[in-house]
Structure 1
C-alpha cells in the first residue's frame, strides 16, 4: 500500500511539480488569520494592544509576579505568525479575565517607579480595557478565531479525508456568512454584558453620572439657596397658591437673611401684608418678576417692602457671561499695533464695542455735527 501511494504521488508530482509544495490547509487557515489581522488599521491596533499587554507583564519577573498574584486563571500569551493557535490563545485570557487583568495593570501602575511603565499600564487599563469598542472587538475576534481554530484542529488529524476537509471549509464559510448578518448584534449584547458584569459600568458609566450629579448639586447649591429665600416671589401663580402661614414664614425668613448688624432692608410683617393685598390686585398680564416690578413702580411707593424685595431678587444674576464678554473684547480692540492707545480712548472703544447693539441704532449725522463743532479750532488774528 505504501509503495502504491508513493507511485501515485510520483505521477502527480510529474504532472504538477508544485502540487506538494503549496501550503497545506492549516497553513492556509493561518495565512487567512494573518490577512484578517492586517486587513484594517483597527484590527492591527487591536492585536497591537494584546501584544502590549503581554510584553508589559512578561518583560520583568516582578511585573509577572504582580500578574500571577491578581490573575488566577489563564495567563496572557504572545502573538505569533507561525503558531496557528496563538491568536485565539492571546485573545481568550483577555475575554475571560478582563477585570482581573485591569486590576493587575492598575496595581502595576501604582507600584511602578518607572514613569514610562506607569504611563503604559495606566493607558492600557484606562483607555483600552475600559473602552467599550475594545471589549466589542474582543468578543468579535474570539468568536471568529475560535471557529477557525476548531477547523484547524480537525484538519491536523492524521485520518482527515479531503471530502471531510472540504465540508469543514464549506461550514466555516457558511458560518462567516451568517456571522456577517447577525454576528455584530449578538456581539454587542455580549459586550454589554461584559461591560456590566465587569467594572465598566461601575468605573465608567456610574462614575461619570455620579460625578455629574455631584458637581451639579454642589456647584449650583447657591441657586437652591436663592430658591429657598425668594421662591415665593418668582411668579404670580406661585404667590397666589402659597397659603398665609407659609407666606408669613417665608417673609420672616427673607427679613432675617437681609439683616445686617441689626438692621434689615425690609419688614417681614409689612411684606406679608403687602403681598397678601398684592396677589389679589395684580393684573393678570403681570406674570413675570419684571412685570410685577413695573406694576409696583406705577403704584408710586404703595408697596415699599415688596418693591425692595423684588429689586433685590432682580439683582441676582443667573450668569455673568455677558459681563465677562467685556474682557474678551479687549484683545480685539487693543492689539500690538495700538500699543500707544490711552486709557480714555480704550475705555471709549470698549464701550462702543460692548454696546454694539445700541451704537448701531444711533444717528451718526448729529454725532458728527456735534463732534466737529467741539473740535474746530479758530485762529484769532
Structure 2
C-alpha cells in the first residue's frame, strides 16, 4: 500500500516554530498529480488551503522535485510563495553513499553486506535462528565480562537492510552487523551444512564465511562504520529544531576535518 506522510511547520501566535504531524494518506498512485490531489483533500479535511503554503520540502525523487511535472512544480504554479527546499539531511545521505561507493573496495563491501543480509534474513526460520544465536552470545559475553549489563544496554538488534534514501541506514546496518558478527557466522555455518538446501546455496554461505574471515573485509567494514558514524552525528545535529546556522557550519567543518583524518 502506497502511503504519504504529511507534516506541517508553522509559526504560532507567540512566534515559536511548531512542527505537527498532520497524517498519513493512502495514495493509489505516486504520480505528482495524485499526490497533489491527496494533499489538497487532506488540507480540506482540516480547513486548510495550499494557497497559504510558504514552503515545501521533499526528497530527491523526480515525481517530487521535477522541474516541470514534479509535485513542487505543480504547487508552485498555483502558489509562487511556496518556496521549495530540498531536505538537506537527505542530500547529505545521498552524497555520502555516492562518494563511498565510488571506491571499489568500499562498494564491494556494501554489495557483500547486502548479499549477506539476503542470505541470513532470507526466511523467518533463519531470522529466528539469528535471534536465538545472538541471545546466546550476549548471555555468554555477559557471563565472561566482555560486555557490561545495565539499563538500556544490550537491547535486541537485527540486521537492517541499507537504503540509499533512508537516513543513516548504512551506518545502522554496519553497526548491527559488527554487533552480531558471531551470530551471523553461526547461521552461515549452519546453512553451509544444511542438507535441505541446494548445493549452490550452501556454497554461497561458505563463500560468505570465507569473506567475513578475511582481514580486508573486517578492516574496511570498521573503517566505513567509523566514517559514517562521524557523518551520522552531523546528520542528527542538523535535524535538531534549535540548531542555528553558525553552529551548523561549525559542525560541518569539524565533520569534514575528522572524515579527512579518518580516510587519510
Q: Secondary structure in 2 aligned to 1:71?
A: helix
Q: 2:119 aligned with 1:56, yes or no?
A: yes
Structure 2 partner of 1:370: none
Deviation at 1:103, TM superposition (A): 1.7
User: What value does the CA root-mean-square deviation take over the aligned residues?
Assistant: 2.7
Higher strand proportion (structure 1 or 2): 2
Q: 1:149 to 1:20 in 2, by over 3 A?
A: farther
2:238 to 137, 140, 155: 155
1:98 offset after TM fit, Å? 2.1
* Matching residue of 2:141: none
Matched, 1:132 2:196: no
Displacement after TM superposition at 1:19 (Å): 10
Contact persistence 2:133–2:186 (CA under 8 A): yes
What pairs with 1:313-328 in structure 2 (closer than 5 Å)? none
TM-score, normalised by the number of residues in structure 1: 0.41
Report the equivalent of 2:180. Answer: 97
User: Is 2:229 the partner of 1:166?
Assistant: no
Change (3 A) 1:18 1:116: farther
Return the TM-score normalized by structure 2.
0.59
Secondary structure at the counterpart of residue 144 of structure 1: helix
Structure-2 separation of matches of 1:117 and 1:80: 25
Is the 2:101–2:107 contact (alpha carbons within 8 Å) kept by the matching residues of 1? yes
In the alignment, structure 1 segments of 5+ residues that lack a partner are 182-381
Of 42, 46, 52 in structure 1, the residue corresponding to residue 105 of structure 2 is 42
Distance apart, 1:20 and its partner CA? 4.5
Instruction: Compare CA radii of gyration and give the structure with the larger one.
Output: 1
Q: Is the 8 A contact 2:163 2:170 kept in 1?
A: yes
Asked if the contact 2:158/2:176 (under 8 Å) is kept, the reply is: yes
> Does 2:200 align with 1:116?
yes
Task: Provide the residue aligned with 2:261 in structure 1.
Answer: 178
CA contact (8 A) 1:66 1:107 kept: no
Runs of 4+ more than 6 Å apart: none
Q: How many angstroms does 1:18 deviate by? A: 11
Greater length-normalized contact order (CA 8 Å, ≥ 6 residues apart): 2
The unaligned stretches of length 5 or more in structure 2 are 1-10, 18-51, 56-75, 136-155
**Are the equivalent residues in 2 in contact too, given 1:79–1:90 (CA < 8 A)?**
yes
